[in-house]
Amino acid sequence: MSQIFFFKKNKSKLLDIFPNLKLKNNFFINSVKPLNIADKYDVTFLESTKYIHDAKHTKAILCITTKKLENYLPKKVDKIIVQNVLYEIARVLKKLYPSADVDTPDLSLSKPKVTEFKGVKFGNNVLVGNKVKIGKNSIIGANSIIEQKVLIGENCIIGSGCIIKNALIGNNVVIQDNCKIGQKGFGFIPLKNKNLKFPHIGRVIINNDSEIASGCTIDRGSINDTIIGSNTYLDNQVHVAHNVQIGSNCMVAGQVGFAGSSIIGNNVQIGGQAGISGHLTIGDNVKIGGGSGVVKNIEDNQTVMGYPAESIKIFLKKNKKNE
Amino acid sequence: MSQIFFFKKNKSKLLDIFPNLKLKNNFFINSVKPLNIADKYDVTFLESTKYIHDAKHTKAILCITTKKLENYLPKKVDKIIVQNVLYEIARVLKKLYPSADVDTPDLSLSKPKVTEFKGVKFGNNVLVGNKVKIGKNSIIGANSIIEQKVLIGENCIIGSGCIIKNALIGNNVVIQDNCKIGQKGFGFIPLKNKNLKFPHIGRVIINNDSEIASGCTIDRGSINDTIIGSNTYLDNQVHVAHNVQIGSNCMVAGQVGFAGSSIIGNNVQIGGQAGISGHLTIGDNVKIGGGSGVVKNIEDNQTVMGYPAESIKIFLKKNKKNE
Amino acid sequence: MSQIFFFKKNKSKLLDIFPNLKLKNNFFINSVKPLNIADKYDVTFLESTKYIHDAKHTKAILCITTKKLENYLPKKVDKIIVQNVLYEIARVLKKLYPSADVDTPDLSLSKPKVTEFKGVKFGNNVLVGNKVKIGKNSIIGANSIIEQKVLIGENCIIGSGCIIKNALIGNNVVIQDNCKIGQKGFGFIPLKNKNLKFPHIGRVIINNDSEIASGCTIDRGSINDTIIGSNTYLDNQVHVAHNVQIGSNCMVAGQVGFAGSSIIGNNVQIGGQAGISGHLTIGDNVKIGGGSGVVKNIEDNQTVMGYPAESIKIFLKKNKKNE
């Protein structure tokens, strides 16, 4: 699905943004995308050796990177060599999507018209933005806000006091009271006295049959999407940062926090108050004990615990040794 | 007090739900209750050796349990032997209370009528459901939602943006802004692709003189009630899961999380961000250090710290040894 | 700026509150202030040796303290010797500011009048109290509540579902959806069956260019103010307790919790779910690892981790030793 949530300036050419570069190709930029999904007219970027596999196979013809990393990219790719890759990407994004760096409240909100939402029930004072679509047999609780262009499937129950924006929600999804979904994540380039806010053009995608309990916050992606898999249940006060992808059939207990860009497998169980650091890969069928702090990737089928989290066997052994 | 919050089908007989069983007694089921309070026409259940004391003294005449546990029950009790006790209980509950497994927003909400709530002050846009009762001198802040049949005592202050359902609230209680009280807890039977949601027929009971700070979530009980004792204070962003019972005169600092079904004594002090695992018993006068993870029962008068939490003396000794 | 948020009884003399004392001076009390900023007609207090430096230089002429601490105060200062300093301070505050101990919802709220707020955009159902001021080009999202006398600067974006009271907010500040700012903190004198609520006469001050993400709670100060420095960014679900002061250019990740009265320097970075205990001083340029529990002061330029948090070098060494 193409980007629908953010206004995009369609006529930005590469040399408008990088006027001093000598490039083989000057073109109208389509969008900014990560290496693995970037296409011919996208701007992509390589900022860490974590992504050198994607670099090798990218379809992009232009990549922003550093002196140190440029040799991981194919020869045919034009490189823009910079000091701070994310700063330049933020700059490109701001040019293309001038309003994606701040969550301006949706001022198009109004009471839903019965004729537009057949088979949908609304509580009191619900507000919906332009072009919202909601499937039949769904219910939206009182005081909830569904901002423009959000799509909600059939048989969904959205509680009261929820705020949903920049999100695509499947069928049979339950979202309990007071969840905040789709807001900008915690992304910015730290600059003394005036940080540069990183535009967030990603979305939140919540797949079928999921349940999100009260008071959760799920930030939209910065460049990728934030994804909750099908039949995955989140308990109260869970915090899901931008670009996190959680698989199917997962169980996430109360007050768990996911830092940005981690990828969680299927059938993963996470105990209350655990924290998952950013940019990690957690395998399928992993169990993470309550209160643990996960700072490294975890292979499939592992059970971990502690801070930093380690195999439960080692954790219990250490605890014994210390007695 | 009898169950008032959930619609109950009154004509469910045991053999309608378990058609293939040979039972001494077939009867109209009253409700589902734990062993210690179940009466003659209730369905009760034994799913763990934790409850064998209650099993011995139960007044119930019918109990769902496993092959392994059946001998802990008195002979006179009819047993229904199953693989997964909680799955069967969920099935019985769903038959009796067909709407308790999902929090459908209350569509009976409307502006409170002055004549029905004498001596009560309401902020703007407050919404109340049918049969709500609020005592005199209580104040309800703007945009708050009090769902059907909720009872609130006298001299209470409910802040703005609160959502309260399935709850009984005493006198002189303060609930600060944006609390979410009485929603379904995190209970379900994990089934691939389509979990079975566990109906929650319990309530939240908040006793006199308590204070609940901003942004707390207190889930209603599944079969028991969730209880906050009198003169107990909860700080911001505390998460109280289903069936938790907290005693009187307790102090619970910010962002503490209680997993389901734990029982906390009186005069207990819990530091910020501590986590209490499920199904534990914490004694009176216990002090739990901030950030601790409690995974075992704690006797009266203990001070504990660490993860897993242990006596503070041992904690300090270990920390010293490691230096 | 003088105290503007709480109604103050202007004619309370010292001997009205402490009728049995023999004092050199009886005067109309101005306010209650900490030692370092108290002036001639303020009541001040010394309850811990942490503040003996301030005691020596205070301009106050009257101080509530204990037998044990009185000698740290200059001779010219009248001392009121008590058992429980904070209890007596709460009593004085309650006399002077009879409504600051409970957050009664603002019943003066109404729809903002266009003529009063030139250049400000409001979403649907916004409610503002008396004497609120909002600078030009600011936007307030739907369903947000701005209580009486709150000041908001120019170019601010306040999200939807926010509740702001007793707060002064600078220019270019972004506050995302569902933040709760300015409520009473977790302060009370524990008394069996009926705690004495500590009046909170402080404010929340959020300086220019800050960003507060979704679902944060920032309590107002009890006697001091709670302060967020300029260009400081807080991620989702952060909890800031009363009297906390955070410097400029700080980055605070999701679900971090600050207990009361800690002072955080400039350029401090704090990882997700870390907890900072009360009454600490954290220096400039400090980095605190995610999930850490900080229980001691930290000097400038340190990097710490663990629970209790310690130098990262020691943390890593210990972790290795335990392997």
Kindly report, residue by residue over A170-204, the tens digit of the pLDDT: 999 999 999 999 999 999 999 999 999 999 999 99
**Does A217 lie at the interface with B, CB-CB under 8 angstroms?**
no
Spatial distance between the Cα atoms of C51 and C71, rounded to a whole number of angstroms: 13
* C121, C261: one domain: yes
Q: Which helix (H) or strand (E) holds C263?
A: strand C263-264
* A126, A88: one domain: no
> Quick check: is B165 in a domain?
yes
> Quick check: is C4 in a domain?
no
**Does B170 lie at the interface with C, CB-CB under 8 angstroms?**
no
Residue among B109, B180, B190 whose CB faces A214 most closely? B180
Report pLDDT for A185: 97
Q: Which residues contact C90 (CB under 8 A, 6 or more apart)?
A: C101, C188, C189, C196, C197, C198, C199
* C199, C289: one domain: yes
CB C120 within 8 A of CB C140: yes
Q: Which residues contact A249 (CB under 8 A, 6 or more apart)?
A: A229, A230, A231, A232, A266, A267, B190, B192, B193
**Does B257 lie at the interface with A, CB-CB under 8 angstroms?**
yes
Residues of B in contact with C145 (CB under 8 A): 142-143, 160-161
Residues of C in contact with B142 (CB under 8 A): 105-106, 109, 127, 145
Q: Which residues contact C191 (CB under 8 A, 6 or more apart)?
A: none
User: Do A211 and B197 make contact, defined as CB atoms within 8 angstroms?
Assistant: yes
Q: What is the dihedral of CA B31, B34, B35, B36, to 10 degrees?
A: -110
**Does A288 lie at the interface with B, CB-CB under 8 angstroms?**
no
Q: How many domains does chain C have?
A: 2
Residues of B in contact with A255 (CB under 8 A): 239, 255, 257, 275
Q: Alpha carbon of B41 to those of A95, A226, B65, C136, C192: distances in Å?
A: 70, 49, 17, 67, 41
CATH number for the domain spanning B226: value is 2.160.10.10
Chain A touching partners, 3 or more CB pairs below 8 A: B, C
Count Cβ neighbours within 10 Å for each residue of A191-207 and write b for 16 or more, e otherwise: eeeebbbbbbbbbbbbb
Positions of E strands within A66-200: 78-81, 121-122, 127-128, 133-134, 139-140, 145-146, 151-152, 157-158, 163-164, 167-169, 174-175, 180-181, 188-189, 196-197
DSSP line for B278-308: TT-EE-TT-EE-TT-EE-S-B-TT-EEEETT
> Quick check: is A201 in a domain?
yes
Supply the DSSP symbol for B18: S
User: Do C236 and A259 make contact, defined as CB atoms within 8 angstroms?
Assistant: no
CB B116 within 8 A of CB B136: no
Residues of A in contact with B110 (CB under 8 A): 124
Residues of B in contact with A231 (CB under 8 A): 192-195
Residues of A in contact with C158 (CB under 8 A): 105
Spatial distance between the Cα atoms of C2 and A109, rounded to a whole number of angstroms: 39
Enumerate the active-site residues of B: 242
Known catalytic membership, residue C242:
yes
Residue of C nearest to A237 (CA): C237
**Does A125 lie at the interface with C, CB-CB under 8 angstroms?**
yes
Kindly report, residue by residue over A267-320, the tens digit of the pLDDT: 999 999 999 999 999 999 999 999 999 999 999 999 999 999 999 999 888 877
> Quick check: is A23 in a domain?
yes
Please provide residue C187's backbone torsions phi and psi, each rounded to the nearest 5 degrees. -125, 125
Asked if the bond preceding B308 is cis, omega within 30° of 0, the reply is: yes
Report pLDDT for A16: 87
Supply the DSSP symbol for B43: B
Chain B touching partners, 3 or more CB pairs below 8 A: A, C
Average pLDDT, chain C: 94
**Does A176 lie at the interface with B, CB-CB under 8 angstroms?**
yes
* B90, B133: one domain: no
* A180, A235: one domain: yes
Count Cβ neighbours within 10 Å for each residue of B227-260 and write b for 16 or more, e otherwise: bbbbbbbbbbbbbbbbbbbbbbbbbbbbbbbbbb
User: Do A124 and B110 make contact, defined as CB atoms within 8 angstroms?
Assistant: yes
> Quick check: is B4 in a domain?
no
* B85, B137: one domain: no
Question: A159: distance to nearest CA of chain B, Å?
Answer: 6
Report pLDDT for B322: 63
A107, burial (CB in 10 Å: exposed 0-12, middle 13-18, buried 19+): middle
Residue A314: CB atoms within 10 Å: 14
> Quick check: is C270 in a domain?
yes
- Dihedral sign computed on CA atoms, order A57, A61, A63, A66: positive
> Quick check: is C7 in a domain?
no
Residues of B in contact with A253 (CB under 8 A): 186, 259
Residues of B in contact with C188 (CB under 8 A): 211, 233
User: How would you classify the pairing of strands B309-311 and B303-306?
Assistant: antiparallel
Domain residues for the domain of A141 are 114-321
User: Do A254 and B186 make contact, defined as CB atoms within 8 angstroms?
Assistant: yes
Question: A135: distance to nearest CA of chain C, Å?
Answer: 24
Residue among B143, B209, B237 whose CB faces C239 most closely? B237
Report pLDDT for C1: 44
**Does C308 lie at the interface with B, CB-CB under 8 angstroms?**
yes
Chain C (237-256) residues lying within 8 Å, Cβ to Cβ, of chain B = 237, 239, 241, 255
CATH number for the domain spanning A46: value is 3.40.1390.10
**Does C174 lie at the interface with A, CB-CB under 8 angstroms?**
yes
Spatial distance between the Cα atoms of C288 and C276, rounded to a whole number of angstroms: 10
* B67, B206: one domain: no
Residue among C105, C186, C217 whose CB faces B215 most closely? C217
Count Cβ neighbours within 10 Å for each residue of B113-133 and write b for 16 or more, e otherwise: eeeebeebbbbbbbbbbeebe
Interface test with C, best of A239, A313, A322 (most C CBs within 10 A): A239
pLDDT by 10s per residue, chain B, length 323: 455 898 888 788 888 888 888 777 788 999 999 999 999 999 999 999 989 999 999 999 999 999 999 999 999 999 999 999 999 999 999 999 999 999 999 999 999 998 999 999 999 999 999 999 999 999 999 999 999 999 999 999 999 999 999 999 999 999 999 999 999 999 999 999 999 999 999 999 999 999 999 999 999 999 999 999 999 999 999 999 999 999 999 999 999 999 999 999 999 999 999 999 999 999 999 999 999 999 999 999 999 999 999 999 998 888 776 65
* B159, B209: one domain: yes
Q: Determine which of A67-81, C13-27, C28-42, C258-272 has the lowest per-residue pLDDT on average.
A: C13-27
Question: C281: distance to nearest CA of chain A, Å?
Answer: 22
What is the pLDDT averaged over residues C162-168?
98
**Does A53 lie at the interface with B, CB-CB under 8 angstroms?**
no
Task: Indicate the residue among A96, A125, A157 that finishes a domain.
Answer: A96
DSSP line for A214-257: TT-EEPPPSSS-EEE-TT-EE-TT-EE-TT-EE-SS-EE-TT-E
* A86, A200: one domain: no
Question: B66: distance to nearest CA of chain C, Å?
Answer: 40
* A62, A149: one domain: no
Kindly report, residue by residue over C5-62, the tens digit of the pLDDT: 988 887 888 888 888 887 777 889 999 999 999 999 999 999 999 899 999 999 999 9
Task: Indicate the residue among B96, B128, B152 that finishes a domain.
Answer: B96
Report pLDDT for B323: 56
**Does A305 lie at the interface with B, CB-CB under 8 angstroms?**
no
Residue of B nearest to C310 (CA): B323
> Quick check: is B7 in a domain?
no
**Does A186 lie at the interface with C, CB-CB under 8 angstroms?**
yes
Binned at pLDDT 50, 70 and 90, residue C3 comes out as low
Chain A (60-79) residues lying within 8 Å, Cβ to Cβ, of chain C = none
CB B72 within 8 A of CB B48: no
Residues of A in contact with B188 (CB under 8 A): 211, 233
**Does C209 lie at the interface with A, CB-CB under 8 angstroms?**
yes
Question: A30: distance to nearest CA of chain B, Å?
Answer: 37
* B66, B135: one domain: no
Residue among B160, B249, B273 whose CB faces C163 most closely? B160
Interface test with A, best of C146, C158, C255 (most A CBs within 10 A): C255
Residues of C in contact with A103 (CB under 8 A): 157, 159, 174, 176-177
* A146, A261: one domain: yes
CB A139 within 8 A of CB A162: no
